[in-house]
Amino acid sequence: MKLSYKEIESLSNQFGTSFYVFDVHKLRDNYRKLHTAFQSRYPNLIIGYSYKTNYVPYLCKEMDSLGAYAEVVSKLEYDLAVKIGVDPKKIIFNGPIKSCEDIKEALDNESLLNIDSLYEMDHVISYCIDNPDRHIKIGVRLNFDISRSGNNVLQEGYEKSRFGICVANGDFEHVLRKFAEIENIIVSGLHAHFSTKERKVESYCSITEELCRIAKKYRLDTIEYIDIGGGFYGELPPAFAAQAPSFDDYASAICGVLNREFPYENRKPYLILEPGISLVANVFTFITKVVETKSIDDQFFVVVDGSVHNIKPTMHKRNLPMHFFYSREEIQEICHFHLVGYTCMEKDYLAFDVEGKLPAKNDYISFENVGAYTIVFNPPFIKERPAIVAFDHNSYIQIRKKETLKEFLHEDLYLFS
């Protein structure tokens, strides 16, 4: 998808001076590459798209049409999946907080349910006792050590993951014993998801190997799926200058483990992946208009009608890949400048120390790789959230309108008098 100044100006006139563009074709391409990489090596595959990464309904509906399951971590996300028409049997319900009512609905609908804590076990047992004629299948999210040679691989340097039911302290065995007392329940899946610093292939091998080892140790002949979570790298822009594993790299290693551990075709469990970033990060672009360029002492500040919240809500200091669209043709002198946003916060920098032609009023700037977590973390702060426009089959469709005061402070939620 290539844009010109004229095309952006036309979109701006329709949808506002700041907006997102969603490349639907690129999303399909990402999904098919991931699916092919894994299914060509291990046919029993389920891809569950991680809703929390970006739950724009139009995107989620597209994922459903491609064959992806909906991986959700809250009742809100569960309800969204149902609302857009996802078969509840194709919903994977994860997350650390599930009420008794949430679990009942998921089990009534035969969704894939992975319990995260012991209190959920109690809710499941109560449901089974109340529904003796139902045969219930449950997945268990496990917590175990994935450090390699004593090196911690978790994000932010955390020594332990806070999620899942601990294997080392006997909690998982306790769950198995309690479930064994109930005739109408089986453990049908083992799940693990760890947020690692470097997303290395080796980490996913460790996770897969450990889940297989646990399944065999406890003789879980009822296992129908091994769910290794998400967090994979997708395609990275050249500007990131990072060597990331490809989908084929991940698939070759992970599927190699499963084919070795489950050599017989009729005994192979399903492999479940829960990708988010790898599918949607590079399918969204944020476009914003230059309001003014100001000079303060020896520095240039380019003020745009967007904010750091629109492109990197964690406010990290790395510059994203960006492109400039100039309204005038004359060559400008190359200089250094900062791109700053509309909020009243000093730290609202969209980019630092950029080298290039100095933008001026009415120029546009696009920021790439803003599809993962940016939309869902974007707060309604000072200004309304911008429109989202999908590009598909050489045409544009607005899939989220620019907010107005009515949506910003909804009358059904707030008291105005």
Q: Mean per-residue pLDDT for 77-94?
A: 99
- Chain centroid to Cα 24, Å, comes to 16
DSSP string, 353-402: EEEEEPP-TT-EEEE----SSHHHH----SSPPPEEEEEETTEEEEEEPP
| Alpha-carbon torsion (100, 102, 103, 104), positive or negative | positive
Give residue 156's pLDDT. Answer: 79
CA distance 167 to 164: 9
pLDDT in tens, 185-228: 999 999 999 988 889 999 999 999 999 999 999 998 999 999 99
| Model confidence at 150: pLDDT above 70 | no
Give residue 241's pLDDT. Answer: 61
| Model confidence at 52: pLDDT above 80 | yes
Element (H, E) at 112: strand 112-115
What is residue 204's DSSP assignment? H
CA-based nearest residue to 124, from 188, 169, 71? 188
CA distance 317 to 209: 36
Could you give all domains of the chain from N- to C-terminal order, each with its CATH number?
A: 5-21+282-408 (2.40.37.10), 24-281 (3.20.20.10)
| Model confidence at 247: pLDDT above 90 | yes
Give residue 332's pLDDT. Answer: 74
CA distance 111 to 294: 56
Q: Mean per-residue pLDDT for 80-92?
A: 99
CA-based nearest residue to 85, from 108, 110, 58? 58
pLDDT in tens, 258-306: 999 999 888 899 999 999 999 999 999 999 999 999 999 999 999 999 9
CA distance 209 to 202: 10
CA distance 327 to 416: 43
What is residue 267's DSSP assignment? G
Mean pLDDT of the chain: 95
| Model confidence at 149: pLDDT above 90 | no
Name the percent of the chain lying above pLDDT 70: 99
Q: Mean per-residue pLDDT for 48-59?
A: 98
CA distance 289 to 306: 8
Q: Report residue 27's pLDDT band, with 50, 70 and 90 as the boundaries.
A: very high
Give residue 197's pLDDT. Answer: 80
